[in-house]
Structure 1
């Protein structure tokens, strides 16, 4: 059985990303398989894990969610990076802010991230979602995808 946890708070600078990274690495050290998903357009999770220019990444959460929205074929492992500490992560960047605007016009817009998570969850013991500091469409998607917050 796997657990999907959203790390969320409407205030910025309270340690959401730090909690996500440290909890994920701690779980890996206990033998768990962990995926971190960066659902914040600031891309701080990627930066914490050593990606210096998240805006230059070829595949991020934006590309994956765009495929879900457009019903395009999806390789669930596409865009997932592996960190030397043993945790896998799906980075985000500033393009996520544009996708959030696009989601407003999408049917079942609050379930787009959950559709992706449902496809990949059997590969991991834990999926931790690092949310942005707002109650926007991506945070709502994260809360819908998660089993706990």
Structure 2
């Protein structure tokens, strides 16, 4: 539970700096990436059409955060854990990084990153995410565990 909470917070920070809206020409508008992803969790409506309501992704921070967390959970359970990554490395850090790579790009990015054949850009994205993670770890615990 604590692991996922920290993963979610780091993901929202990396994706949008925790912003749902930006001020444009004096008005608040939903934050949108160049690829068309929307809001605090940068959910791409083209990828997730039919799963989520586009107006709610744009205008409701709670809905966007919920959708993003469902997607993040999907990648963690259906792509990362199913590959037994937790058994191979025994590292929550590795699970977090792999989950974020799949979330940010797609499952193909996850596979390339996992097999160490990813592009330089994918490694840069993972590195930028990873720089945010220590903020969510308990620094007083041994090794800054994800679970404490």
TM-score normalised over the length of structure 1: 0.32
Higher strand share: 1
TM-score normalised over the length of structure 2: 0.32
Pick 1 or 2: higher relative contact order, CA cutoff 8 A, min separation 6: 1
**Structure with bigger gyration radius:** 2
Higher helix share: 2
